[in-house]
Structure formats: structure tokens, C-alpha cells
Structure 1
Amino acid sequence: MRPPAFWHQPPGWQAAVLAPLAALYAAGTARRVAKGPGFKADGPVICIGNLNAGGVGKTPTVIALLQHLRLRAHVVSRGYGGTLTGPVQVQDRVHTADQVGDEPLLLSAFAPTWVAKDRAQGVRAAQGAGAELILLDDGFQNPGVAKDLSIVVVDAAVGFGNGRVIPAGPLREPVAVGLARADMVLSIGDDTAQARFDQDWGAAIRVPHLRGHLAPLQMGMDWAGLRAFAFAGIGRPEKFFQTLAQQGADVVGQQALDDHQTLTTALLTRLERDAKALNAQLVTTEKDAARLPAAFRPKVLTLPVRLQLGDTAALDAALARLTDGN
């Protein structure tokens, strides 16, 4: 489902009406968090989490950290959208997104990646396979594994929305409560979005604040003048459409899908028909491409993006403390 518009507007009557349910949701999150800390791994555990429901850029953050780390890191994910309970190591030639989720399938190209509904079991399996450091993809509100470093990721363009908890707003827990457990905040967006985020939420951040932006991965593809029919099932599909246009593509058609939406043959056949009617090429995101059925993979182009971090001094210092002696 797409998030309701009022989640990202100043609190109004909808948020007020839903406040009692939001209080119950927040209380449930607080009770769950209070059960921790859980399993303590032998090596460092870094959690990449968020306060907002939906996509904020955690997967690009995990990829960026994997490329930044010196130790042999494994990724542990719950495998949202997948059917396997695990723990199982993701194999891109064996598993499908329906089994393990699209994000773990993508991450498995960068590091050994494990799917486990019980995150502690996933961490144990990763350790048994030689992991020196664990990256928890999500799980900030899950106490099953003790974290040595927790990074809260936020989309700078939308911030923490109206500051209210589900269903009155987009948050899993109140900002002050969540950030009290965070070791760092990473906001992702361009300079304009970062300035707005600083104005709206800067005073709430009492931990090191990292900044970054997503940039297309240059792979020799010339997008200039390409007639594109773009589709995306990510947190904010409009960001992808804008990025594709900025690369010079002529985006003559676009289809915003729900986050993690299943790419059925019927849906893709319709998109293919619509693209042909516009004499356009189907283009999607790297994460959506992981969910494509085999028959459609040769028919769809992918525009991958990577997270470019700004000043990493605070991150480097924290990683040095965690990995000292390794």
C-alpha cells in the first residue's frame, strides 16, 4: 500500500483521530524493545535500521558499508516478502525473491547474505560460516540480537514525516525514543533535502549525523535520448523516475508500484504492452530487477544507484573502535 498523504503533512485531524491507536502501536514497540538485549555475537554487529515504515535507503547503506569495511562481513536479514524461514544463505542462482526477498537477493552479490526470521539464528549461522562482522539489515526495533553500533537511516526529503507513530504517521516509534538508542543518524538526499531535514529535525539529533546521496552507477550505458517506460516498487518511486530523467532519458511513461510488490506475469505483460505502444524501453530499479521472472529479465533495463557518503570521520572512528585488533 502507498502511505497516506497526511503522514507527510503537518499533523491534522487524521493524526488526532488515530492518536489512540498510535499510542498502542508505540507501546507495543516499546515492550518488544524492552525484552533485549538478546543474543550476543562473538564479533561486532552493526544494525542498519530506521524509524520510518517503508523504504528509506537501508539497502544502499548496507552496500556502502560492505565496501567500506575491512573485515569479512556477512549480512543477516529477515527476508521481508520471502517464504523461507531460514537460516539459509542466499544463493542468487538457487533462490528467488519470492523465497528470500528482493533485498537479500540483491545484497548476496556483495557479501554472504543470510535470511532468518529469527535473527539470532541467522547471526549464529553467519558466524559458523566465518563472518568476522555482522551487518543487520533492519532490526532496529528487534531485540533478538545485541547491537554494537546502530545507524538509523532516514530519507532527508521526507524526514520523519509528521512525527507521529503508525497509523497516525509513518513512524514505528517516537523520534526521541528511537534516537535515544541510536549511535548515528544517516540522512540520504541532495543538498536541498538535507538543508530542509536539518531545519526540521536537526535539533532532535544528539548523535553523530552522517549525510549521503544516491548517485547512478556509471556502467557505460548512455541514457541520453532513450525513450523509457519506468516502473518501480520502492519506498518513493518518484525518486527513481527523476533520477532516470536526470540521466537524459525521455521518460514517456511511468508506473509507481507498491514497495516490494510482486511482479506477476500479468502485470509485466501489461507494462510491456504499454511500453510498446509508446515505442519505449522498460526500465526499473536494481531492487525491482531482483523480482523479475526469468522470462522478463532480458526485456528490462536496470539503472543501479550507489550511496555516496559525505564526511565519514565519525563512522570511521566508530568502525575503528569496533574492529580494533582485527
Structure 2
Amino acid sequence: MSGPATRALRLGTRKSLLATTQSGLVADLLTERTGAAVELTGVTTFGDVTKAHLAQLGGTGVFVSALRDKLLDGEVDFAVHSLKDLPTAPAEGIALAAVVARHDPRDVLVAGAKLADLPTGARVGTGSPRRVAQLRAIRPDLEYVPIRGNADTRIGKVQSGELAGVVLAAAGLQRIGREEVVAQIFDIDEMLPAPGQGALAVECRADRADLLDLLAALDDPPTRAAVAAERSVLAALEAGCAAPVGAYAVTSGNTVDLTAAVISADGRRSVRKSASGPMSEAMGLGRDLAAAMISDGADTLMGEQTH
């Protein structure tokens, strides 16, 4: 088997601070573990240039397709994505080469006070229907508004007083060193994360056996099993349920413990279930849990979207 390529590997990344920081972490980890030289190649995606809100675009995929096109064209060798942005359907010619060990999966509130202490009618920004539904379950008296932009832009809307708060992923703020703005970290029980939240996905072309071997050095099997369970819940539900979905799994030994919920848009109703199974059966565990949730009425929680 040949060693690392003599030229630097081209790592395709979105150009935002968070994306380049995450890609830099993966590049450094690969160099540390394999000795491979890596250079970052910036790519502009549809999600970066569109003015539409992500919920209108279907959420996942808008940050991913341009990077995958560059992979298939041979312009970059591999790419790093926030795993929660990755569509659940497989992409032809693309392999999930590694799932890097997960960081903090939780959601956080950036505000001047905790959620419970915000005044009635306060405006809280988030582009995620999953977050809005769970926030409404806790504080139905607040106004939840769609928001776009990178982390600094969103934080700025709070600091300028335009919004009372914004909800973001803990891992992203930790990676860019902005933890000081966090007013509250939500418990997993009160704010179930998006499937794959906090984890990074590494993709390359499926026909690059040399790269698949090399990138395997980045893979964390417990994280891969956990996110496989979470994403299989989402994949099974997406066919018949557009309601907000949260899912989170942890591994212990060879066992995966999975919890998932479908929440109505108004936050008033939810179907929440948990199950456990072997790591080797993570995807089946997720599918079975989704089927049980549908049997309990998860597919009826569509409702009218409230604004």
C-alpha cells in the first residue's frame, strides 16, 4: 500500500470562520495521525449565497452539494461538513470516509439572561424548526424569528439589541472560541439535538481507495454508530413527517442508547421514545424506533406551521 501522496491533499471547505476552523482541526488531526500534508481549499456553496431561510430550502444539503461537486470533479481530495448538515440519503460516487469524535452536541442560548428570565414577547432568533418547536414547549410566550448568517452575525444581533437572544450549537461556539457569550446551555432532555449535531463528517470520492484508507485514521467508531442511529431515525421519518425531529444517541461498551422525538410546530405535542441495541445494528435501531414513533402518531404532528 502506498504512503501519503507527495503533494498536499486539498481539503474542500466552506469559507466561513466556523467551517475553516473545523476543517483546520481535521487537517491537523490527519497530519498528526498519518503525516499527510493538507491544504484548505475554499468553496462557496448555495447555502452561503442564498437569501432564503434554511427551513424554506429544506435545511440540509444547501451547504453540501457544491463541495460534493468539487470532489467528483477532482478539484478537491476530501471535504469536511458539519454532520447535521449532511442529507441522510447517500450521494452517488461519494463515501463517508470518517466521522470524527463528537464534540458537545447541545444547543445554547446567547442572550443577556437565561430563557426562563427573558421578558414576555422577547424576540429569539433561530432558523431551525426543531429548536423553535422545543423552545415553544418551554416558553410559548416568546416570539421566535428566522435568522441567517454566521455565528458572529447572529451574536451581533443580540449585542445590538435587535434580538433578545439566539440559539446556536454549542460545538460551533466552542470551536471558534466564543463560549463567553453563552447565557444558558440546554440540557439534552429539554432540547433534543439535531441528528449528528456536534460531529464532523469527512467525505471523499468512493473510488479513491487510497484516500479511504488514509482518512480511516480520523474515524471514531462510537461516534459513527451514534450518529448512524440518529440519522436513520431522521431518514425513516422524513418520508412521511415534516415535523421537527430531534435525536441523540450515546454508546457504552458495544451498546447504543438512542432517544428521539417528533415535536409539533407549536410545541404542544410530541412523541418521544428511547431504545437500545448493539453498535453493529445502529441503523436498524433507528429505523425501528422511527417505526414505533409513527405507530404512536408521530406522523400526525405535522400541524400548521405557526409563526
Smaller-chain TM-score range?
0.3 to 0.5
User: What is the TM-score when the length of structure 2 is the normalising length?
Assistant: 0.34
**Which structure's residues are more often strand, by fraction?**
2
